[in-house]
Structure 1
Amino acid sequence: MVDLSYQAAFTKADRQFTAATEPASINTWHDDIAAAGDAINQWAAKNTLDTAERSKMPPSAAVGKAFAKADRDAENVAKGK
């Protein structure tokens, strides 16, 4: 399952800028939020019914790190960086 809901947010944010004022961080955010979605999919693929026992579940740290990076990018977009 692929979640592309971030595309609407990107389009909305991108409309706020012209080519001259668009911060580089908006494209970085777009790439990093896509990577966060990929991290969720990779975690979910490893976390099958075979790992329903909590002690055998793979860690979700990569997902958290990916979203933290995307959040920092969003802050930079808001600052126009």
Structure 2
Amino acid sequence: MNNRSLKRWTFLDTINAALLIVVLLFMLDFENNRTVSFILLAVFAFWITTVILRNVFISKVQKDPNHPMNEQQPNNNPKKK
């Protein structure tokens, strides 16, 4: 099993947020490129939805002490010194 901790915000999310700002400021043009503008908005809406759903999932894992991904679970494989 993978023992990486769950993260609410990752480096990739930071890059996506920066790209979203650039797109909103400079690339959306509904008069000349209507289709591209809608595609860009749809892609970023999907990203924002996944960030929100990831945070909901992490909250559920943290609230459920019996969940296998909960970090409060006792480790069956003690670390070797």
TM range (shorter): 0.3 to 0.5
TM-score normalised by length of structure 2: 0.47
Tell me which structure has the larger Cα radius of gyration. Answer: 2
Structure (1 or 2) with the greater helix fraction: 1
TM-score normalised by length of structure 1: 0.47
The answer to which structure, 1 or 2, has the higher relative contact order (CA under 8 A, 6+ apart) is: 1
